Amino acid sequence: MTAPRSRRVLVLNGFGNNLGDQAIFAGFADVFGEAVDRVGLDVTLDQSFVYDFPFRAETIETLNEHYDLVVLGGGGILYHRPQDGSPSGWGFDIPQDLLRTLTVPYAIYSTGYNYRAYAPEHFPEQTAAHVRETVRRAAHFSVREPGSVRMLRERFGVEGGVELVPDCALHVEPGRVHLPQLAADRPTVGLCLRLDRAQERFAPPFAENFEHFVRTLIDSLRAMIEQDGCQVVFTPHLLTPNDVEVGELLKASLPRGSVVLLHEAMPALYAGASLDRPALLAGVYQRCAAVLGQRLHSLIIPFAVGTPVVSMASTASSAWMQDYFGVDPRFHLDLTRPERDVTVERMTGALRAAIADRVSLSERAFVRRSELIGVARERTRELVDRTLARPAAAREAQRFVRAS
C-alpha cells in the first residue's frame, strides 16, 4: 500500500516586521520547498511567531495529533528573553518536563547563539540542561555558523548532535528596485544600525562610549562623502523610533543631498511582514559599493548578493559569520574595543578597502555562497527524508522512541 504523500508542518520563527526575519523565512521556504518537491510530497506549511507560541500540555497534544513535523526555524533562537518568563530560558519555550510528551518530530533549524554583550544576564541556570535535552530528543538540531557550535559546548555542555546549516537569508535573490535618489556615478555606502537597548550593546561608561561611536560614525561617513564622493543609503531592517531618529540625525549631520533614507524612499518596504520584500532589500544592497552593518542580516543579505560588508558589533556573532563566509578580519569592527576599532581611520579604511576590492570580494562571495547553499540543501534534504519522506510506520516508531 502506498504511503500518503500529504504532510503538515508547523514552522515557528520570528517572522514579523523585521526584514531580516522575513528574509530567513523566505529563504527557508525556498530550500525546504525544494527538498519536499524532490521527494514528491504535498506539504502544508503553517507558521506561528515563536515567542508567542504556548508550548503547554494542550497545544502539545494538538501538535502530536495534527502535525508531521515542527520546525523552530532560523534566527537567534538561542536567545535569553527574561521579560517572557520562559521556563526554558531560551527561544524553545517548553517546560523541560513536557519535552518527552512532544512525540511529533521536531527540528531546531539553522539557529544561532544570540546575546547582548553587556546584558546583566545571558541565560538562566536551567537553560544548559534544557538545551542538552532538546538536542538529545531533536530529529535535527543545527546552527548557522561554527561559533554557535562552540558556545553550545562551552556554555551548555553540548558535546554532539549539532549540525551546521547556513543562515536561510543566503537563499534570497535580489529583486529589481527603482531608487532614482541614488546617483549612478557615485559609490553608495549602505548603513544599517541596531541601537535598541543600547546600554547593553556598548561598553561602560555607556554615555561616553555611545557618544564616541555616534560621533565617529558621523565623522567617518562625512569623510567618505566629502573625500570619496560617496552617498549613503540608510537601510533599517526594523523601523523602530530609534531608526527614525537616527535617520533624522544623519540628514541633519551630513552634507545636503548625500543621504537617502530607505523608509522614506520605499515606505512600502516597512508595511508589515511579507515573503516578497526581502528580495527588494537585497536589490538595494546589490546596488551598494559596500555596507556598514551592525545587524547580523545587514551582513548576510549583502554577502548573498556579492556586496562587501564592514560589520560592527559588540557581540561575537558577526565576527563568527564573517569568518564562516571567509571574509578577512579587517572588515569587522569590534565595538568592545573602541580605542582600536571605533576610530575614523579604522572605519573609513575598512570601507575604502571594501570599495576598492569590491570586484574580487564579490567573486569570492559568489563561490562561497554557492558552497554554503549546497550544504544547506543537502542537510535540509536529509531532514525531510528522515522526518517526512519515510513511511508512516517508521515515523510512528520514531515517535515511540522519542516519547520514551
Query: For 325-350, how does the pLDDT look when each residue is reduced to its tens digit (9 = 90+)?
Result: 999 999 999 999 999 999 999 999 99
Q: How confident is the model at residue 81 (pLDDT cuts 50, 70, 90)?
A: confident
| pLDDT value, residue 83 | 81
Q: Which amino acid is at 116?
A: R
Residue type, 62: T
In tens, the pLDDT along 187-201 reads: 999 999 999 999 999
Q: Enumerate residues 6+ apart whose C-beta is below 8 A from 128.
A: 155, 156, 157
What total of structural domains would you count in the chain? 2
Banded model confidence at residue 67, pLDDT cuts 50, 70, 90: very high
Residue 383 lies in a domain: yes
Mean pLDDT of 88-111: 96
45 within domain boundaries: yes
- Whether residue 322 is contained in a domain is answered as yes
* Residue in 33, 31, 59, 78 with CA at minimum distance from that of residue 320: 78
CB 17 within 8 A of CB 273: yes
| pLDDT bracket for residue 1 (50, 70, 90) | very low
Same domain? For 243 and 136 the reply is no
Both 380 and 328 in one domain: the answer is: no
Q: For the residues 220-231, what does the mean pLDDT come to?
A: 98
Q: What percent of the chain has pLDDT over 90?
A: 91
Q: Are residues 222 and 348 in the same domain?
A: yes
Is residue 300 included in any domain, yes or no?
yes
pLDDT confidence tier of residue 82, bands split at 50, 70 and 90: confident
Residues 378, 360 share a domain: no
**Grid cell for residue 315:** 557581540
Whether residue 375 sits in one domain with residue 360: no
Which CATH number do you get for residue 294?
3.40.50.2000
Residue 381 lies in a domain: yes
Same domain, 213 and 143: no
Per-residue pLDDT band at 404 (split at 50, 70, 90): low
% of residues, the chain, pLDDT over 70: 96
Structural domain that includes position 375: 6-170+369-403
The number of helix segments (H) and strand segments (E) in the chain equals 14, 12
User: Is 176 among the domain residues?
Assistant: no
39: CATH: 3.40.50
Higher pLDDT pick, 85 / 368: 368
344 shares its domain with 388: no
Residues 239 and 219 in one domain: yes
- Lowest-confidence pick of 49-58, 128-137, 213-222, 354-363: 49-58
Would residue 1 count as lying in a domain? no
* pLDDT for the residue numbered 398: 54
Dihedrals phi, psi of 293, to nearest 5 degrees: -125, 135
- Quote the DSSP letter at residue 256: T
Q: What is the pLDDT of residues 231-289, one digit of tens each?
A: 999 999 999 999 999 999 999 999 999 999 999 999 999 999 999 999 999 999 999 99
User: What is the arithmetic mean of pLDDT over 367-373?
Assistant: 98
Residue 321 is assigned to a structural domain of this protein = yes
Beta bridge partners of 70: 10, 106
Same domain, 18 and 111: yes
Residues 264 and 289 in one domain: yes
Q: How many whole angstroms separate alpha carbon 382 and alpha carbon 281?
A: 30
pLDDT at residue 400 is higher than 70? no
Instruction: Give residue 393's pLDDT.
Output: 45
pTM of the full structure: 0.95
- Which of 8-12, 73-77, 234-238 has the weakest average pLDDT? 73-77
**Weakest mean pLDDT among 2-6, 251-255, 350-354:** 2-6
Do 41 and 97 belong to one domain?
yes
Same structural domain, 209 and 326: yes
Residues contacting residue 246 through CB under 8 Å, at least 6 positions apart? 193, 195, 234, 236
Locate 189 and state its grid cell.
555606502
3-state SS string over 327-385? CCHHHEEECCCHHHHCCHHHHHHHHHHHHHCHHHHHHHHHHHHHHHHHHHHHHHHHHHH
